[in-house]
């Protein structure tokens, strides 16, 4: 693995770790009743994720350019599969860290009500009391939260399918468009720009189906109209289907790259 791919691996890991941990913000908002403040913290997480994403693309694009110029494209697909593996690994670790993250976010939401400043809140993390809060928040997923997946109240199957497809497309979108550059070197710029179509579709899919459902559910829990157990069940299922989506992306990589290359020729 080259140094560029190693950096892309790290940035991809960060992107998907943050995206998975973002589920815990919903639980924190429901627990504290401060949904708007939780949403602000969620937006900060997304900002970090998008910053990492903005670094991932150029690094991988440069790697593709150098391979094409050197004529060393034989192991290209392996590099891309390593990057996709980073998304799967991050989702697994992020899912295991959700209980810890939701405790930390709950504390952060309540602390923000006192400090009213994100920089001051961040600085507090590095104090003795802040580090002690982190130590106390560390926990493992409770067996009861995992077993409650079998509870009678069901999460709509369409949402779970949409989350799986959305996660798969988000994972593979940029990678497939850049890999298409190996298939059609003369149209690699066109192919790389087509990633916006894939990511745009997956983002719309998640924003239409998943985000509104979780937002309404968070409000319902905060207002005592439904149970926190059902919200935790939803978060668990969405984390699992997100994981399935990152695995599905491995199978979509090459077919998606060929499709993007074909579209680049037809434009």
Q: Where are the domains of the chain?
A: 3-266
The mean pLDDT value of the chain amounts to 82
pLDDT digits (tens, 9 = 90+) for 133-187: 777 777 777 766 666 666 656 788 899 999 999 999 988 988 888 888 888 888 8
pLDDT of residue 219: 82
pLDDT of residue 137: 75
Three-class DSSP category at 46: helix
Compute φ and ψ for 232, nearest 5 degrees.
-65, -35
CA distance 159 to 208: 10
Q: Please, what's the b/e burial string for 22-46 (b: 16 or more CB within 10 A of its CB; e: otherwise)?
A: bbbbbbbbbbbebbebbeebbeebe
In the predicted model, is pLDDT for residue 265 greater than 80?
A: yes
By CB atoms closer than 10 A (0-12, 13-18, 19+), residue 230 is middle
Three-class DSSP category at 72: coil
């Amino acid at each position: 693995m080259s140094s560029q791919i190693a950096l892309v691996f790290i940035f991809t890991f960060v992107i998907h770790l943050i995206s998975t941990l973002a589920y815990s913000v919903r639980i924190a908002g429901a627990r504290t009743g401060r949904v708007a403040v939780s949403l602000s913290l969620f937006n900060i997480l997304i900002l970090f994720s998008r910053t990492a994403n903005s670094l991932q693309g150029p690094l991988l694009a440069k790697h593709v350019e150098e391979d094409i110029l050197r004529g060393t494209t034989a192991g290209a697909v392996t590099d891309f599969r390593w990057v996709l593996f980073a998304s799967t690994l991050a989702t697994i670790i992020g899912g295991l860290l959700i209980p810890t993250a939701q405790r930390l976010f709950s504390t952060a939401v309540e602390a923000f009500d006192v400090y009213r400043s994100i920089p001051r809140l961040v600085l507090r993390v590095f104090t003795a009391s802040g580090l002690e809060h982190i130590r106390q928040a560390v926990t493992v997923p409770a067996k009861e939260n995992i077993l409650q997946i079998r509870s009678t109240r069901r999460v709509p199957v369409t949402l779970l399918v949409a989350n799986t497809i959305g996660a798969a497309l988000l994972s593979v979108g940029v990678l497939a468009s850049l890999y298409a550059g190996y298939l059609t070197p003369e149209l690699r710029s066109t192919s790389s720009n087509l990633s916006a179509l894939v990511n745009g579709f997956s983002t719309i899919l998640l924003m239409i189906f998943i985000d509104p459902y979780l937002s309404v559910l968070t409000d319902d829990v905060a207002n005592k109209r439904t149970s926190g157990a059902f919200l935790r069940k939803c978060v668990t299922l969405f984390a699992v289907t997100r994981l399935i989506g990152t695995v599905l992306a491995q199978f979509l990589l090459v077919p998606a790259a060929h499709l993007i290359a074909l579209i680049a020729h037809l434009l």
